[in-house]
A and B are shown apart, each in its own frame.
Chain A
Amino acid sequence: MTARACHSAGCGPRAALMALIAATAAALLSGPAAADPHPDASRVLSIGGSVTEIVYALGQQDRLVARDTTSNYPAEAQALPDIGYMRQLSAEGVLSVKPDLILAEDGAGPPETIALLKQAGIPFETIPPGTGPGGLADKITAVAEALGVPDTATAPVAALQADLDRLADISADPAQKKRVLFVLFATGGRITASGTGTEADAIIRMAGAENAVQGFEGYKPLTDEAITSAAPDIILTMRRGGAGAEIDAKAEDLLALPAISTTPAARNGAVISMDGLYLLGFGPRTGKAALDLHDAIYGTS
């Protein structure tokens, strides 16, 4: 929702900060959205990669019967039946795995299908989107509450909090923040980079660095001149693994591109490559991922 509001209200770093403060304040005032507990649910369908990951982090994986296409982590999850892409669910396909509880990330759909599932009398719990540090802990708590095992959230939330606290301790002096360019694709020498409002932008900020590209939202192709003027200190890419590995941007290929060769990053040969799900997944591992990214950017502290 905040991303959409940005279109009309204008979106500078200050607006983003205000939104973050507002969201945090709202979260503190209202507490995490309370999901109805379902301690007896034994056939849980998990929709959304981060929700599935949280179910595993809570040690509740034995109750899962199926997952959606975006649930790739951990590897064991891939052995579960796949009910399709989370925004294009088929009502009968979902019913065929006979779930007695559906846990869905925000944005699961289409709405017609969700309405039918509710009509069929299957408990359906929507887990709030957890971008931002406070949101992540809320997300873990919400999944634990929906599963009727609130106590299991304590350990993962504490671990996450410890990572975030450590990040806050070691975060660089704002004046010395490094500028990071996240490259999504570099096929054919054309760079598709992350603007603001993306997971990549969020993790870069969590890691105490600054997104070198501020002019637009989302992932968009960049012109050579825009790359030069962005002057990134670091270039960040992700590894896709499996069949996606072919389109992964390789460090030497990236640095050889004329537009990038003029940047500080090329002078220092600073290319960081991290696993895509770990880096951008926004699940229980995100604190660790942000720490790892921080260490890769600023050197081990």
Chain B
Amino acid sequence: MVALDARNHRIEGDRRHLGRALSLWLLALLLVLAVFSLGHGASGVSAPAVLLDRLAGRAIAPTDAVVLFDIRLPRLLTGILVGAGLAVSGAIMQGLFRNPLADPGLLGVSAGASLGAISAIVMGGALPAAISAAIGWHLVPLAAFAGSWLAMLTLYGIATRQGRTSVATMLLAGIALAAMIAALSGLIIYRADDEQLRDLTFWGMGSLAGSSWSKLQAAGPVILLALMAAPALARGLNGLALGEAAAAHVGIRVQRIKTGAVLITAAATGAAVAISGGIGFVGIVVPHLLRLIAGPDHRWLLVNSALLGSSVLIVADMISRSIVAPAELPIGIVTAMIGGPFFLWVLLSNRRALDG
């Protein structure tokens, strides 16, 4: 009896086989949601009708064409990439810090991006005309991306001595750095006028409303590269779960994994935040939910996080653009309002499993 129980328990606990099946389901979900999102919007333009017209070579009203091909399509693709980028970054950070509540904010990425955006919004007007004409609307995203990298590189530099990165130093120095960045941001905000303050507030709540092909061309490849590189970390992150020393003993090159994790996260999150502003909760809820369903094996966790992250963001975006139509609710509010209670419910209903 005792032996049987032990075996049953092991089978019950082993959820690795679920990862693959789950990824197929999540892919199907993403495709369905993507099609639905294309056909859904405040203007009531019907995607199938416009596509049929185009295939048949009939003339399309310019408004309908713009709605479908220049508003909804880039917005959908941006949502997919941003959602995947945020969720995968969250999963990697949680693996690296061995803490289910870790997120890219610990690398200073979010604080740095927000300092960049704040500086661009408040002081962008002081740039020489030639420069602002060349950069145009891309000033805020560029500054946010640069800010996130600057913060991350500073932190990485502080935490790395003699070719070895201390995760604990990174965590603590990250808190100090975030405080300094917040003070600097506050200083700039103090100088801001009313319109700039409102712009800043909206930026912090995130939105996919400003999505465009040109933004996607700039940020898309960065996120895509990071997403493609992420699976290479999977085995290493699995090893790190045993602790750094044990991981090194089983042949994992720990320093490489750390460097890779930091770079991939900074690229994906930095680019995602740059084009969509601050969208919270996706990076924590999505990987957590997947761990509860299919276990902590990073080989599937990273892939599934990307798929579910995209789906969550598409749904949140559909809500954000329809709930107060013709106006729009910032998407960060939607993700937090739905994500928060949902996360709490998942935690409470799995309390026993988590405590045990």
Contacts and interface: CB of A to CB of B under 8 A. Distances in A.
A94 B70 CA distance: 14
Given A81-B326, A82-B326, A87-B198, A111 B209 contact: no
Interface stretch (B15-23, B60-68, B180-188, B342-350): B60-68
Residue with the highest number of chain A CB atoms closer than 10 Å, among B63, B327, B328: B327
Contact of A218 (B193, B207, B324, B326): B193
A158 interface: no
Contact of B210 (A98, A110, A217): A110
B213 to A, nearest CB: 10
B327 A69 contact: yes
A83 B71 CA distance: 16
Contacts, number: 103
A3 B192 CA distance: 12
Given A81-B326, A87-B199, A110-B210, A92 B67 contact: yes
Contacts of A116: 66, 70-71, 212
Contacts of A85: 198, 202, 327
A81 B212 CA distance: 25
B199 A90 contact: no
A96 B41 contact: yes
Nearest to A217: B193
Interface string B318-333: 0001001111100000
Interface stretch (A35-43, A118-126, A162-170, A257-265): A118-126
A84 B327 contact: yes
Contact of A84 (B63, B136, B193, B328): B328
Contact of B126 (A7, A112, A113): A7
16 contacts: A4-B125, A82-B327, A87-B202, A88-B202, A88-B328, A89-B209, A90-B321, A90-B327, A95-B66, A96-B44, A107-B195, A111-B137, A112-B215, A116-B71, A120-B63, A218-B193
Contacts of B8: none
B195 A91 contact: no
A4 B126 contact: yes
Given A92-B71, A93-B327, A113 B210 contact: yes
B72 interface: yes
B12 interface: no
A273 to B, nearest CB: 20
A202 to B, nearest CB: 14
Contact of B328 (A90, A98, A107, A217): A90
A94 B41 CA distance: 11
A165 B210 CA distance: 45
Nearest to B210: A112
Given A116-B66, A119-B66, A217-B193, 14 more contacts: A7-B126, A66-B326, A84-B324, A87-B195, A87-B199, A90-B327, A91-B71, A92-B67, A96-B41, A97-B326, A119-B70, A121-B66, A218-B194, A219-B194
Interface residues of A, number: 39
Contacts of A120: 62-63, 66-67
Given A93-B328, A120-B67, A88 B194 contact: no
Nearest to B125: A4
Contacts of A301: none
B43 interface: yes
Interface in B272-318: none
Given A81-B326, A218-B193, A122 B42 contact: no
Contacts of A119: 62, 66, 70
A30 interface: no
Interface in B102-143: 125-126, 136-137
A197 B196 CA distance: 14
A3 B328 contact: no
Nearest to A5: B125
B276 to A, nearest CB: 12
B351 to A, nearest CB: 40
A267 to B, nearest CB: 32
B324 to A, nearest CB: 8
